[in-house]
Amino acid sequence: MCRGECIVFGFNSKTTKCRTHKKVCSSGMTKEDGWRYYSHQSHSLPGSLPLDCKELYEDGRTTSGVYDIYPYGSITRPVSVYCDMVTMCGGWTAIQKRVTGTLSFDRNWMEYKNGFGSPEQDVWVGNDLIHLLTKENSTVYVSINLQNGTTLYEMYDRFSVSDEAGKYQLFLAGPATGTLGDSMLNTVNPILYDPSGMSFTTQDRDNDRRSWDNCAASYRGGWWFNDCFNAFLNGPWYPESWTWPWYPILTSGTSVRGTTMMVRRH
């Protein structure tokens, strides 16, 4: 499975099954249909500070909940985040959550930069933190809970966000797998709607491609807008107008009960 002695776990996006391996071998990682393998290469030594939820999971924290992580490398600067230790083999760090719908996501650049909300309920962890969490190759997992109790998800294999100097530019790539359908890549009109390659836009910082309008101001929430979107998780909560949370499967926010975006390093 890997070079030298190692610990790896695998997840199959087609069958949603997991498996782990620990063995000594000399060949490279083998390719199997639907399987992706994640090596246990924790940055932490005994007693060191966990950088993200994946490190906490690898260190034995297997219960989902709010934990402190230290992506800034200082014990004086912890960040409280929600860790999902169950979904798709665990180790996910939530970067966006909407549970109650009472928190407005119609915020300015500095608020999206630093983050707002609480990890237990509605939260945007902050674009600075998202950049730190995704500097290494990461997967993003998007889930939308519906009013009828159904939960749909989509997972993209490559996700990263640049720093503020790069205007928090989004890099997104497949393969995309899940039950929501791909509304962020390979859409009906990717030149106008796909967010990959786009800088972040807020009500006071227009970085989208729409020359005559600011998408964030018009649709009342920050996002990686193109001109403008096929997927947008930060719109105003019902009964206000939230159009196209995830087109074409969800064209209105009236059916949305909650959303989550989570990342995990490869």
Domain count, the chain: 2
Whether 37 and 159 share a structural domain: no
Q: Residue 21: give the domain boundaries.
A: 1-41
- Residue 191: the pLDDT is 81
Q: What ranges in the chain are assigned the alpha helix state H?
A: 53-58, 109-114, 127-133, 190-193, 215-219
Whether 165 and 102 share a structural domain: yes
Give 202's DSSP letter: B
- Residue 240: the pLDDT is 80
Tokens of 160: 């990263």
Whether 36 and 55 share a structural domain: no
- Residue 186: the pLDDT is 75
Whether 16 and 148 share a structural domain: no
Whether 62 and 29 share a structural domain: no
Whether 97 and 134 share a structural domain: yes
- Residue 125: the pLDDT is 98
* CATH code assigned at 247: 3.90.215.10
Q: What ranges in 27-162 are assigned the alpha helix state H?
A: 53-58, 109-114, 127-133
Contact of 170 with 200, CB cutoff 8 Å = yes
CB-based contacts of 36: which residues, under 8 Å, 6+ apart?
Answer: 10, 11, 12, 13, 157, 266
- Residue 1: the pLDDT is 35
- Residue 239: the pLDDT is 73
Whether 34 and 161 share a structural domain: no
Residue type, 136: E
Contact of 126 with 134, CB cutoff 8 Å = no
> Could you list the mean pLDDT of each consecutive 10-residue stretch along the chain, which spans 266 residues?
45 68 40 59 60 97 97 94 97 97 96 97 97 95 96 98 98 96 84 92 97 95 96 90 92 94 97
Contact of 78 with 69, CB cutoff 8 Å = yes
Whether 89 and 4 share a structural domain: no
In a 3-state reduction of DSSP, which class is residue 87?
A: helix
Whether 141 and 165 share a structural domain: yes
| Strands 4-12 and 92-98, sheet pairing | unpaired
Model confidence, pTM: 0.83
If one counts every other C-beta atom within 10 angstroms of the C-beta of residue 128, the result is 18
- Residue 37: the pLDDT is 57
- Residue 238: the pLDDT is 80
Give 135's DSSP letter: S
Tokens of 11: 């997840």
Whether 223 and 173 share a structural domain: yes
* Closest to 234 measured CA to CA, from 157, 147, 123: 123
Whether 10 and 66 share a structural domain: no
Contact of 51 with 71, CB cutoff 8 Å = yes
